[in-house]
Each structure stands twice: as C-alpha cells, then as structure tokens.
Amino acid sequence: MNGQYADEGVVGAKRVTVEDYEYAAITAGRTRIIIGVLAFGLALFLLMARLAEVSVLRAAPEPYSSRAHDLATRADILDRNDEILATTLDTYLLYGVPGKIWDPVETTQALTAALPDLDPADIERRLTSDKSKVYLKRNLTPRERQAVFSLGMPGLEFEIEPRRIYPRGHLASHVLGWTNVDLVGAAGAERAFEQQLSADNSGPKRLSVDMRIQHALDDELRAGMKRFQAKAVAGIVMDVTTGEILAMSSKPDFDPNRFGTALPNDRLNRATMSTYELGSVFKPLTTAMALEAGIDPNEQMPVHKPIVIRKKLIKDDHPLKAPAGMFDILAKSSNRGVTLYATRVGEARQRDFLRKLGLFDRVPIELAESAAPQLPREWQDLTTATVSYGHGLSVTPLALAAASAPLFNGGWYIAPTLEYQSPGKARPRRRVMTEQTASTMTDMMRYVVTDGTGRNAAVRGYGVMGKTGTAEKPGGKAGYQENNLVTSFISAFPYEDPKYLILITYDEPQAAEGTWGYATAGWNAAPTAGAVISRMVSILGLRREDTTQVASRAGGRP
C-alpha cells in the first residue's frame, strides 16, 4: 500500500500524481512565455510607434504656432500684370536644447559638416550654454532641414519660420523694400502697404509697376552707370494720365532677400530720397510759368546781352548771338532767357507756381522714403534767377517728374502712386496750368529733341519730347564743383497723345568713348532715356507716329 503511493502526494482528499506536477510546470511555462511575448510585442509596438512619430510625423512640417500662422498670412505683392514680386514661404529655424545634447563636440562636428556656413566655435559655445534653448540657424531650406534631421542627434529641434521671398532679386528692390524678421514691413511697398498686406484674409496687393518696363529701365541704367562710370543713377517711368509709377530704379541697389548684408548706400532710393540741384530740366517749368503770366512766346528776348544780378554774371554755355523767342530759348537751353522770364514774372508768382507744382513739399507718394526739398534760406532777386534754370533749389527726381507731368497731360497735377489704378478710375487732381500752356509746352519740348540739346534721345517713328539738364554739384571754393556734375533728361512720348514720362538722372558721370570728352546730359541721360523708350514701344506694342506731321507741328515755331 505504501509502495503504491510512494511517488504520490495527497492534497486534501485528492491525490496528486507525477503527471499532475509535469502538467502544472508546462502550463506555468507557457504562461510565462505568453507574458514575455506580450511584453516584447508591447515594447516593439511602442518602439515602432516612436519611430513612426519621429520619421513620419515629425518629418512633416510641424503645426503652426499662432505666431507662425499670423506671419504666413502676409499677402503677396504683384505687379500690374499679376507677376509675383513678393511672397511668403515656409522655412525652418534650427535650435538646440543644451540639456538634451549628449556630446556637444560631436554634435558640433556633425552639424557643421551638414551646414558648412556655421561657425564651429560659435555653435559649440551655444550648445554648452546653460540656456534651455539656443538658436543655431534661421531660414533653413527643406533640404538643409533634412540634412540636419538625418544626423539623428538628440537636442536639435526645428520650428516653422515663414520667410518673405523676393523671386526677382535686385529688380525693383527699392520699390518693394523688405520686412523685418517678424515679417513686418520695414521699407518700400512692404512698409507703405503694411496694413493691407498683414490683414486677415487679404488678397494679393497689386502695384502699378510693370516688371517688363522695370527690367528695361533697370538694364539701361546699369549699362549706363558702367559706361559713364557714374557714382549713382536713378530712373522713373510714370503714366502722366494716372500718376502711376510704371518703373522706378536706383543704382547701386541691393537684393531684398539679403537686405541685412546691403550697404546703406545701396539701400538708398535716389529717385525719392536724394535731393539734387537738377539744372536745366527746370527750364520747361519756368517757361510754362511765363506762358501762364501772359508772356508772348513770339517775343524776342535780348539773350545776346549780358545779365548781371548782384555782381553775378548769368552765363550761357552756348550763347545766342541774337534775340530769341521761347522755342529757341528752351531748345538752346539759355540761362539768360529763362532768367528774363523769371524776373519779369517776379519772386512771388514764381514761388506760388512752384508751390502749386508740389516742389516745396515732400512728394505725396505712399513710400515713407520721400525726402523734403531743400529750399533757399532767402529768396532774393538772384534766387529768382538761379532757380529759373535749376540752381539754388534741390528736389528729388520724383518731385521733378511729378511737377513736369502737367506739361504733358493738359495741365493737371496728379500725385504719383505705386498702387495699380483700375481702368476708368479717376484719381484726385488739380489744375496747375491751362490746357493751352500745356499744349504749347509739348510743342516746345518736341522741338528740343528735333532741333535742340535732346537730339540723342530721338527714337525713329515716335515723337519724343524732352529737356536736358546739367548742373554742377554744390561745394568747392567757388560754391560749385565744376567737374562733379548731375545730369538729367526729362522726357515724354508719344507726342500725338502724351502718356509716358521718363526721367533719367546721373550722379557724377564721366566722359566716355563716343561723347567727345563731354559728360553733359545730352551725351548720357538723353541717350539712356531714348534707349528705354525704344524698348518700351516694343514691350507695349505702340504704333509708330507720322513723324513728318510731328516735325511739321513742332518745327512750325513762332
């Protein structure tokens, strides 16, 4: 009996055999295996989920913060033909979390290998700082971000950072301006139209500029600046019927995508911020003033005789040897002639006329970069004389362009604008001269190109009107620097129905091959304007004029 149960035990009333022990052991082992498998599976699942988060979810753009979303809503800027001039794209900001960096030296080496433009010493210093977060590089491209991400270095993180992009680089840089790091307009149109560009749900902002014309102007100014070795150059193309700025350029210029590296001299918009004594391009304004005062354009003025005011002799570069009427006085650019007109009209009426043309105030354009004129401290009889031919009063090129537009549009002053004007939309305007005066002035300024100092601006088949201006820059012992010139050419076309005004201004141009040693406006500013016009007529598809009729009308002077 005892031997029968030698290998058995009793639990309560039930007997437990060896087989029962073996079964229990196998069951417990299976349970442990199942638990182990489940634990391993759970760990594997968590690991795969983490890898999926890192490799998929975090490789995609992270959700915008509220600030990033606000910045990304900044509206695009377009030209008048809907070409994109400025837009906003997502870039990445790379930052480090020093507390998560395992090895700052190794991380620095890997990071600078992926982004060679970083300074290793600076990066290592940042990664070993006691700050919770350090910025390493802004505006990473998607490719640069992926290169850093592929390093697998802990402690390197990214933020979405919208960036303002100017796809045309230097072109129209002074018109567009730039934004600061928070995408707030800091200059140019970006600043001028800040409220509209940053408004919620705002559509693109369309400017008045035509990038085809802007490119033509930009190209010719760059070539001219190089040829004549000028210190600077500026140009404006304006629609005289609407005041719209179709193109505006200033050289030297800059790339708004990298505005922080641009020199202050390059950021300066000389078309709106630099004031000059512009010289004889003022003479059409003085002539229009004389017509408004009732002076007969047929009257022969004694320009062949010396004029002395306060012991100053009023001289002409090319003195006329006989009395002359208005057409020849303007075409031959006689200082004596316009001095006679101005002194007859008088100081008070001269100042009133120039004030009506906006030359005593900042140009009322949207740009904040608009300089005030430099007015004479005292307005004496000598001032009346010198201002008549563009000395003693300094204005911006844009101010002269706006003041000259009434000569071509029937006598209306229309403030220049960078906003696109829908067809048929009438802008505020004020009459500053009669339609008859304006009509006579277009005839005179056409004659300047056909028979006067503006011959080098002529474009075959199109009636170009204009006036040259060469002025010595203030300074030196005699009050002016004889060899440092500012040269300008104010022009408009077509003669039959004037619409487009072009102003070119060179700062300290030099004589070049083919100019016969001259550095005056007729040899640099005038041909540059003619080159711009030649390209414009092709761009705009303008029909050719009957130049025989044009010459007859302009040449049939009193």
Token pair for 241: 């019927």
Rounded CA-CA distance 318/205 in Å is: 50
Residue 120 Cα distances to 98, 114, 141, angstroms: 15, 12, 20
Residue 425 DSSP symbol = P
- Closest-CA residue to 322 (of 309, 337, 312): 337
Q: Considering the candidates 249, 280, 404, 491, report the single residue annotated as catalytic.
A: 280
Task: Kindly report whether the peptide bond that precedes residue 323 is cis, defined as omega within 30 degrees of 0.
Answer: no
CA angle 333, 336, 339 (to 5 degrees): 105
Rounded CA-CA distance 195/366 in Å is: 12
Task: Kindly report whether the peptide bond that precedes residue 162 is cis, defined as omega within 30 degrees of 0.
Answer: no
- Closest-CA residue to 374 (of 274, 501, 292): 274
If one counts every other C-beta atom within 10 angstroms of the C-beta of residue 243, the result is: 25
SS (H, E, C) 370-396: CCCCECCCCCCHHHHHHHHCCCCCEEC
Rounded CA-CA distance 386/390 in Å is: 6
If one counts every other C-beta atom within 10 angstroms of the C-beta of residue 450, the result is: 19
- Residue corresponding to tokens 């919208």: 162
Task: Kindly report whether the peptide bond that precedes residue 252 is cis, defined as omega within 30 degrees of 0.
Answer: yes
Residue 266: phi and psi, rounded to 5, are -75, -30
Looking at residue 189, its amino acid is A
> 19 by DSSP, 3-state: which?
helix
Say if strands 232-239 and 245-251 run parallel, antiparallel, or are unpaired.
Answer: antiparallel
Rounded CA-CA distance 463/448 in Å is: 11
Is residue 280 part of the annotated active site? The answer reads yes
If one counts every other C-beta atom within 10 angstroms of the C-beta of residue 8, the result is: 11
Q: Which helix (DSSP H) or strand (DSSP E) does residue 160 occupy?
A: strand 156-165
- Closest-CA residue to 507 (of 296, 252, 237): 252
Name the residues annotated as catalytic. Answer: 280
